[in-house]
Structure 1
């Protein structure tokens, strides 16, 4: 049996693999990923072990974003009196740099930019409500490239639903997106429910976390949208 026959037999025993992941909010799917077929050639044990180590490192890099462990709690000394010490548990933010990056990218979308310009009185898009959008992005469990402008409006609507006593202004989001038509609103609420479920129903965001999010990139222009500065 020559090398070509061995290669063909090994190819029949190792079919190609593909993986498809569906977004909890989007209908699209990640394109299938397939591994190239490699001919079986004899290699020394040292090279086989090296190749296994390289493949292991590659797979760890690809899945780092998906399987990154939860942050460990951090403790700081709040008070020290003699031999007695009181510890305070500090909150560890789960917002990662890619969540800030995707939010900044969505701010350049024409529809989002037009909406922020349209809401000049900051009725539904002041700096704290916008920082909650980033917090929701970090909890939704989507890959950074899956976020679309619709996710921005879903998160902003949810932020207004949680924080604002006056619920009338959030209807401005519907008016801006769909005008006076009510046909698309049921689909919007369906996507909103799916978005909340993808966050594990964790929709409360503290003021401290909002300020931490703003402090990550304090020069971002949307953080100047402060209602206290309006005349």
Structure 2
């Protein structure tokens, strides 16, 4: 069930994440400094977590793994955002863990690292953008993905605002270097950094 967020609060959060929402609704795209910041943090020396083909032996591919991208400040930002009341309500509402099991949530941490913003700049919108992309990558269930922005924006307002959310998702994905794949091993590595945190108990048992 979605909680209704006042439209002015939602607009302000979207603006802080990088879009002038009112300008978009009027057909006048206006980049804020946060947009440039999101684009520019693609940075010198950013660590990447990718698999690359080293060489081919017959029908087998030898793969090399590059380093992960997440940083301690990304983990700290993630854990702090888990205290956000909207995020907490969303996690509580996802009783079957269709869009917020521990692996999808681990991907949020890695995505923060791939974008590379200073940890203190990440907010509620960034969390839901990352979770949406993770769900798109791993589940690709339109109904479940839709529940993410419906919950965030509220059932009353999401029809007017979801297109702006999806536009911002494109910016976020671009800032990630268009790299959405995260290995299960990396997810488990992220979880192992703080193994007793309650969020890592969100193991999906079976399909409802």
TMscore range, shorter length: 0.5 to 0.7
Which one is further off, 106-115 or 171-180? 171-180
Which of 185, 189, 193 matches 1:216?
193
8 Å contact from structure 1 (residues 160, 167) kept in 2 = no
Greater relative contact order structure (CA < 8 Å, 6+ sep): 2
When the two chains are superposed, the root-mean-square deviation of aligned CA atoms in Å is 2.7
Structure 2 residue 126 is matched with structure 1 residue 176: no
The alignment of Structure 1 onto Structure 2 pairs a total of residues equal to 159
Q: Deviations over 1:170-196 (max 9, x none)?
A: 111122122154100111011101101
Which residue in the other structure is 1:207 paired with? 184
DSSP 3-state at the match of 1:184? helix
Determine if the alignment matches structure 1 residue 116 to structure 2 residue 109: no
Alignment of 1:1-231 (within 5 A): 25=18, 27=32, 70=47, 89=64, 91-177=66-152, 178-180=154-156, 181-228=158-205
1:137/1:228 Cα in 2 relative to 1: closer, same or farther (>3 Å)? same
Instruction: Compute the displacement of 1:25 (Å).
Output: 3.3
Answer whether contact 2:101 2:203 (CA < 8 A) is retained.
Answer: yes
Give the direction of change, closer, same or farther, for the CA distance of 1:69–1:150 in structure 2 (3 Å limit). Answer: closer
Could you tell me how far apart the structure 1 residues matched to 2:127 and 2:117 are? 13
TM-score normalised by L of structure 2: 0.68
| Bigger helix fraction | 2
The residue matched to 2:196 in structure 1 has which SS? coil
Question: Is the Cα contact below 8 Å between 2:68 and 2:110 reproduced in 1?
Answer: no
CA separation of 1:133 and 1:88: change in aligned 2, threshold 3 A: closer
Structure label with greater radius of gyration: 1
2-structure distance, mates of 1:148, 1:206: 25
Shift of 1:100: 0.6
CA contact (8 A) 1:94 1:138 kept: yes
CA deviation map 1:105-142 (0-9, x unaligned): 00001111111111121111000000000010000121
Q: TM-score, normalised by structure 1?
A: 0.61
